[in-house]
Structure 1
Amino acid sequence: MNNSLKAVSKKAKQEAILQAGSSQAQADSSQVRAGAGMDRKIAKQKSPWPKFVWGGVAIGILVWLLAGISGQTGGKMLSVSSQRVVISAVSRGTFEDFIPVRGRVAPAKTLFLDAIEGGRVERILVEDGAALEAGDLIVELSNASLQLSVLGNEARVAEQLNNMRSIELSLEQNRLRHKRNLIDIEHQIKLLTRQVAREQELVTSGAVSQSQFDDTRDTLQWYKNQREVTLESQASDTRMQESQLAFLKQTGERLESNLAISRENLENMKVRAPVSGKLSGFNIEVGQSIGRGERLGQIDTPNDYKVTAFIDEFYLGRVDIGQAAVFEQYPLTISKIYPQVQNGQFEVDFTFSGEQPNGIRRGQTVQTKLTLGDASKALLLPNGAFYQDTGGKWVFVVSDDGSEAVKRSVRLGRRNNQFIEVLDGLEQGERVITSPYSSYRDIERLVLASK
C-alpha cells in the first residue's frame, strides 16, 4: 500500500514539472517575438565596499564618544551600597595636635637581686611583696665548697704573711750584723791609731823595732779599708732591703685584700636588701639550689612610678625628650626614648612632672594623651581607615546629590585620633568617604546605590 502511494506521488510531481516547463517556454517565445527588433539594456551592479567603509567610520566615532564619556565619568566604575561606606563632611575647626598613647605603669627605679655566689637556700626571712629597709636580711644560702675555699685562702695568706715576716726578720738581722761589724771596726781603728802614735815615738829611741811599727800601721790601714767596704756593703744592703720591703708590703696588702674578698663572698651568702623598697618577683623555696648570678627578685622604689608606652614609628621624628603628656589631670614628660624599633613601634618612658595619682599599681594600663604641637585653626576631615590605604594622597569625594563618589587627589597634614588636617584639595562642606579603600584602590568612580 505504501509503495503504491509513493509511486502515484512521484508521477504527479513529474507531470507538474513538465507543465511548468511548457509554460515557461511559451513565455520566452512571446518575449522573443516582442523584442526581436531592439537590444535589451543590462543594469550596472554597484560595489559594496563604500558601505563597509562608512560603517567602520561610524563605529569608530561611536567608540571614541564612549571613551570620552568614560574618561569624563572617571574610568573604572564600581557600584556599592551607600550603607556599606562611611561618609564624613569636611569642616573648619581647631586642630589639636596630639595622639592617644596606651601605657603601662612601672616602678621609676628597680634594683635587681642576683646571687653573687651560688648555694643552697637555708632560710627565708621575708615574703614576696614585703616592704624592706636597707640592710634587712632576705635569705641565707650555704655553700660548703665556698667555705672550704675561704679557709684555704686564709691558710695560704697566713703562710705568705709568715714568709714575709721571716724575710723582714732576716733583713733586719743582716742590718744589725753590719752595724755590729762597723762598731768593732771603729773600735779597732781607734786602738790601732793610738798604738801607731806611741810606737812611732818609740821607734826613734829604739824601744820598738821598725818591723813591729810597720805591722801595726798596716793593720790600722787594713781596718780602715775594711770599714769602707763594710759601709759600702751596708749602703747596698739598705737599698736592697728597702726595695724588697716595699715589694713585700705590696704583696702582703694584695694577699690581705684577696682574703677580705673571700670573706666578703662568704658573707654574701646572706642576701640583704641594698636599698629600701618593695620586694617583688621573689619566689624561692627552702632547699632550692641557686646558681651563681641567678635572679632572686627585685626591689622597686616605693610610691614612685613611671609610665612606659609603645608609639607607632610614624611619629618617630616628632617625639623628643621633654615633650608633655597628660594622664587624667596629672602631667607627664618624656624622660627616655629607646632607639630600637620593633614591630613598627618604639618605646618611651614617661615620668610624672608633679604629684602622682593615688592608687596606681605596678603593671596597670593607663591611657595618656601626648601633645605633639600647638593647637591651630584648620580644615578638618574626620579620621578614618582610608588613610592606611591611600597614605593621605587621594580620597573619594561624594557628589552633591549623593549618587556617586569620584576619586580626587588631596594633600593632608597632621592627624590625631579624631581628625586629619586638610592642606589642599578639599573645601569646607564637601563630603568624603572615610571607610576603608582596600577594595577600591583601582577604581576611579563609585556609584552609590541606595540598596
Structure 2
Amino acid sequence: MDIPIEKKKISNKKLGLIIGALAIIALIVFVIIQTSGGTKFNVDKERISIHTVSKNVFQENIPVNGIVLPITTIYLDALEGGRVEEKFVEDGAMLKKGEPILRLSNTDLELSLINQETSVYNLLTQMQISQNAARQNTINRQNQFTDVENSLIEAKRVYSLNKRLYEKGAIGRQDFESSKNNYEYQEERMKLAKQVLSEDSISSKLEVRQARDSYSRTQSALELMRKKVGDLVVKAPIDGQLTSLDAEIGQSITKGTRLGQVDVTSGFKVRVDIDEHYISRIYNGQIGTVKLNNKAYTLEIKKVFTQVTNGRFQVDMTFNGEVPEGIRRGQNLQIRLALSAEKEALLVSKGGFFQKTGGNWIFKVSEDGSSAYKVNIRLGSQNTEYYEVVEGLNSGDKVVTSSYDSFGDVEELVIK
C-alpha cells in the first residue's frame, strides 16, 4: 500500500533570503560593469590633449635620418705592393690633383723594369742591324738590275744592227742568229731581274714592318712596366681632402690594400636610410626638407640603392640651391621625405590615441566640452604631424588625441 509524500513548502523567511541574495548579486554585477566596462570615465581636462580637426594643405611624408658625406669620394688603393719609404703629407691635408702622397719601394718591380729596358734596347739594336742588311741587299739587287738592263740595251743594239746587215747580205746567218739569241737571253734576264727586285722590295717591307711591330710591342711593355714602377708613388687622383690615410713608414703594403681616400670638398650629399616598406614609392627626383638653425633647406633624391640590408635600403640626396653653412662630413640630419604632392585634406593631429585605436575610432568632444564619446573614423595617409581623415569627422570637430591607455573600454569621457 503506497504512502502519500507531502510536498515541502518554502517558508517566507527562506524566500526573503533568496531575494536578498539575488539583489546583492545584481548590485555586484552592476558595480563590476560600472568599473570595468562601464560607459563613462572621469578625466581632468589638463591631463588630456584636445585638438580641432581642420581642413588644410596636406603632403604625405616620412621622417628619415641621413648622414652628410662628400659629394664625391675617390678611394686610394695600392696599385702595386711594396714597403712605405716616405710620406709626403698627413691625414687631413688638402691636395691638388697629381700631388704625391707617399712612396713605396719594390726591388723586384724595379729590377723587372731594368730587364725590360735592356730587352728593348737589344731589340732596337737587332732591328737596326736587320734594316741595314736589308738596305744593303736592296742596293746590291739594284746594281745587278742595272747591269742586266745595260746588257739588254747592248744586246738589242747589236741584234738590230745585225738584222739590217743580214737582210743586205753583209754578214752571215751565224752572226745574225748569235746576236738574236743573245738579245732574247738578255730579255729573259731582265724579266727575272725585275721579279727578283720586286720580291726583294716586298720581303724588305714585310721584314721592316715585323721588326717595327715587335719593337712597338716591346716598347708598350716597357711603358707599362714604367707605369707600374711609377705607381709606387701614390698620388692624389683629384683635388680634395685626404682622409683615412692608413700607412706608416716601414710598413709593408700588399697590392690592392686600401690606403685612404680623397674627398671632394666642393659639395656634399646625404646618405639616407629608409625602411624597405617604402621601396616601391621611392624614386629619383623626390624632395625632402631639413631644418638647420631655424631655416629650411631642400634636398632631392639623386640615386636609389635598391639593395635591402636588415630591412632597410639607402638613397643619396643632394641640396637644391643653398647649402647650410658650417655643415660637416659625418653630421646627422633629420629629413622629412615627401611621398606625395600637396593636396587639400581634412587633418587630425597625430597623438597617442592611434596606438590604442589603430585609427579605427576616436573620442569626439561634445559641443559644450563637458564630455567626449566614441566615433568610428577612417584614416588615410599620414606625415610627421597629421593623419588624413577619410571619413567619420568634420572640419571644426574637437577630438582627444592623447593616449587612451588609462581609459579602459569606456564609451564616454566626462571632462572636468
Normalising by structure 2, what TM-score? Answer: 0.76
1:359 is aligned to 326
User: 1:167 is aligned with what amino acid?
Assistant: S
User: 2:188 is aligned with what amino acid?
Assistant: N
Residue 250 of structure 1 aligns to a residue whose secondary structure is: helix
User: 2:262 is aligned with what amino acid?
Assistant: I
Q: Which of 129, 133, 146 in structure 1 is aligned with 2:92? A: 129
Superposition deviation, residue 88 in structure 1: 6.2
Pairwise mapping of residues 275-286 of structure 1 onto structure 2 (< 5 A)? 275-286=238-249
Residue 423 of structure 1 aligns to a residue whose secondary structure is: strand
Give the gaps of 5 or more residues in structure 1.
1-39, 47-72
The question of 1:347 aligning with 2:314 is answered yes
Counterpart-to-counterpart distance in 1, 2:5 and 2:288:
97
Pairwise mapping of residues 368-383 of structure 1 onto structure 2 (< 5 A)? 368-372=335-339, 373-374=341-342, 376-383=344-351
Q: Which of 171, 193, 201 in structure 1 is aligned with 2:156? A: 193
CA pair 121-303 structure 1, distance change in 2 beyond 3 A: same
**Preserved CA contact (<8 Å) 2:101 2:235:** yes
Counterpart-to-counterpart distance in 2, 1:296 and 1:346:
28
Superposition deviation, residue 121 in structure 1: 0.5
Superposition deviation, residue 334 in structure 1: 1.7
**Preserved CA contact (<8 Å) 1:409 1:425:** yes
Residue 129 of structure 1 aligns to a residue whose secondary structure is: coil
The question of 1:420 aligning with 2:393 is answered no
CA pair 261-380 structure 1, distance change in 2 beyond 3 A: same
Q: Which of 417, 426, 429 in structure 1 is aligned with 2:398? A: 429
The question of 1:302 aligning with 2:268 is answered no
User: What do residues 165-221 of structure 1 show as CA deviations (whole Å, max 9, x unaligned)?
Assistant: 343334333332321121000111122223334444665788855334423321221
2:130 is aligned to 167
The question of 1:180 aligning with 2:143 is answered yes
CA pair 347-219 structure 1, distance change in 2 beyond 3 A: same
1:105 is aligned to 68
1:12 is aligned to none
2:119 is aligned to 156
The number of residue pairs the alignment matches comes to 374
Counterpart-to-counterpart distance in 2, 1:77 and 1:231:
123
Superposition deviation, residue 151 in structure 1: 1.3
User: 2:201 is aligned with what amino acid?
Assistant: T
Pairwise mapping of residues 27-46 of structure 1 onto structure 2 (< 5 A)? none
**Preserved CA contact (<8 Å) 1:87 1:435:** no
CA pair 204-331 structure 1, distance change in 2 beyond 3 A: closer
Residue 398 of structure 2 aligns to a residue whose secondary structure is: coil
Counterpart-to-counterpart distance in 1, 2:373 and 2:214:
90
2:26 is aligned to none
Counterpart-to-counterpart distance in 2, 1:384 and 1:247:
85
Q: Which of 394, 406, 421 in structure 1 is aligned with 2:360? A: 394
1:230 is aligned to 193
CA pair 265-402 structure 1, distance change in 2 beyond 3 A: farther
The question of 1:332 aligning with 2:293 is answered no
User: 1:300 is aligned with what amino acid?
Assistant: D
Superposition deviation, residue 153 in structure 1: 1.5
Residue 323 of structure 2 aligns to a residue whose secondary structure is: coil
CA pair 202-192 structure 1, distance change in 2 beyond 3 A: same
User: 2:248 is aligned with what amino acid?
Assistant: E
Superposition deviation, residue 142 in structure 1: 0.6
User: What do residues 214-251 of structure 1 show as CA deviations (whole Å, max 9, x unaligned)?
Assistant: 23321221111011122123223333433443343333
User: What do residues 99-132 of structure 1 show as CA deviations (whole Å, max 9, x unaligned)?
Assistant: 3322111100111111111111000010000011
User: 2:152 is aligned with what amino acid?
Assistant: I
Which stretch has the larger CA shift, 375-384 or 256-265? 375-384
Counterpart-to-counterpart distance in 2, 1:310 and 1:204:
113
**Preserved CA contact (<8 Å) 2:373 2:413:** no
2:218 is aligned to 255
Counterpart-to-counterpart distance in 1, 2:119 and 2:405:
79
Give the gaps of 5 or more residues in structure 2.
8-32
Counterpart-to-counterpart distance in 2, 1:308 and 1:197:
99
1:94 is aligned to 56
Counterpart-to-counterpart distance in 1, 2:353 and 2:70:
36
CA pair 201-422 structure 1, distance change in 2 beyond 3 A: closer
Residue 336 of structure 1 aligns to a residue whose secondary structure is: strand
CA pair 286-268 structure 1, distance change in 2 beyond 3 A: same
CA pair 77-314 structure 1, distance change in 2 beyond 3 A: farther
1:271 is aligned to 234
Superposition deviation, residue 290 in structure 1: 1.0
Which stretch has the larger CA shift, 177-186 or 141-150? 177-186
Which stretch has the larger CA shift, 216-225 or 312-321? 312-321
Counterpart-to-counterpart distance in 2, 1:253 and 1:306:
46
Q: What is the percent sequence identity of the aligned residues?
A: 31
Counterpart-to-counterpart distance in 1, 2:275 and 2:364:
31
User: 2:211 is aligned with what amino acid?
Assistant: L
CA pair 217-339 structure 1, distance change in 2 beyond 3 A: same
